[in-house]
Structure 1
Amino acid sequence: MSTTNNAEIFAKAEQICHNKGVKLTAKRKNVLGVLLDSSKPLSAYEIVDIYRTTHNESLAPMSVYRMLDILSELAFVHKLSSENKYLACSHITCTHEHQVPQFLICKSCGKVAEKGIQTSVIEALKESINQADFQLLNSQIELQCLCNDCANPSEKG
């Protein structure tokens, strides 16, 4: 995550929810907090376990999935389809227009970096897809990588 603290993120999330007429309930906020505090993407079941430990309250996995759907629609959370895991958006507090995300996923340690894709790249992909007589359903890109720490372990320390 960035240097932005959770209080700033929650304040911005509350503002966005208010503007969209959606409630950021305590449980949704807590689920978002679990993802914000995690150094790696989490499955819904991992969120359930962490939530139970940190909030002394059980949540049903289906409830967590519904909350994640809402948080995803609000662009507070992203789903990594290749991993079936979720992570907090790294741009919740940004004021700029969000680009289509690409996720660089380290296959060794699980670290994920979120980067925006330039509009021209997405347009070129759409054109290529249209020429193949297909229609793009999701422009999010997930790239399997090695982070520099895993690629060069001898350079640590």
Structure 2
Amino acid sequence: MPIEIEKIIKKSQETCALAGVKLTNKRKNVLIVLLNSKTPLSAYDIADRYKVQFQESVPVMSVYRMLDFLINERLVHKLETSGQYISCAHITCNHQHEAPQFLICDHCGSVNEVGMKKPIVDEIERSVQDTGFTLTHRQLELHGICKRCLNRSV
């Protein structure tokens, strides 16, 4: 396992321990599958890659339960527009996590996670509340073309 992934897994285990929960081997392996992917994955993709990487089958329903756990512990995000999953880009950071904003490339499928500053999120929430609507989820997903794909088309 690459050193960077080892560092992320160690921090993830510490985070879970502080929360009083356990990052089991299977949960850890699902996280590793996501960490090794350059693009978001569906639960089915994760199950397929899990089998290849760890020579062990895992039912898709179990993958969903493990993903729910990893999302709850803020180690993984679900991209609502695609129903796919991505590891959190800020697992090893020591700062307070901001509301996630995902920049999704419609050409290559890459995703860049950028935190939204609290004043921006507060302003969006105020604007939404002024319409009588209540936000239940503060994640923002923006689609476009990444710099790498844009440079390829020039």
TM-score by length of 1: 0.94
Q: What is the distance in 2 between the residues matched to 1:16 and 1:69?
A: 16
Amino acid at match of 2:17: H
Q: Which segments of 5 or more consecutive residues in structure 1 lack a partner in the other structure?
A: none
TM-superposed deviation, 1:152? 2.5
- Does residue 143 of the first structure (1) align with residue 142 of the second (2)? yes
Q: Which segments of 5 or more consecutive residues in structure 2 lack a partner in the other structure?
A: none
2:30 alignment partner in structure 1: 31
1:116 alignment partner in structure 2: 115
1:87 alignment partner in structure 2: 86
Deviations 1:104-129 (A, max 9, x none): 00001001000000111111111111
Amino acid at match of 1:147: C
Q: What is the distance in 1 between the residues matched to 2:47 and 2:129?
A: 40
Q: What is the distance in 1 between the residues matched to 2:148 and 2:89?
A: 21
Deviations 1:122-148 (A, max 9, x none): 111111111100000111000001001
TM-superposed deviation, 1:94? 0.4
TM-superposed deviation, 1:151? 1.7
TM-score by length of 2: 0.96
Amino acid at match of 2:76: V
1:131 alignment partner in structure 2: 130
1:99 alignment partner in structure 2: 98
- 4+ residue segments displaced more than 3 Å: none
Q: What is the distance in 2 between the residues matched to 1:75 and 1:87?
A: 11
TM-superposed deviation, 1:4? 6.9
Q: What is the distance in 2 between the residues matched to 1:149 and 1:23?
A: 38
The count of residues paired between Structure 1 and Structure 2 equals: 153
Amino acid at match of 2:90: H
Q: What is the distance in 2 between the residues matched to 1:28 and 1:93?
A: 17
**How big is the alpha-carbon RMSD for the aligned residues of Structure 1 and Structure 2?**
1.3
Amino acid at match of 2:114: K
Amino acid at match of 1:134: F
1:65 alignment partner in structure 2: 64
Q: What is the distance in 2 between the residues matched to 1:83 and 1:143?
A: 12
SS in 2 for 1:5: helix
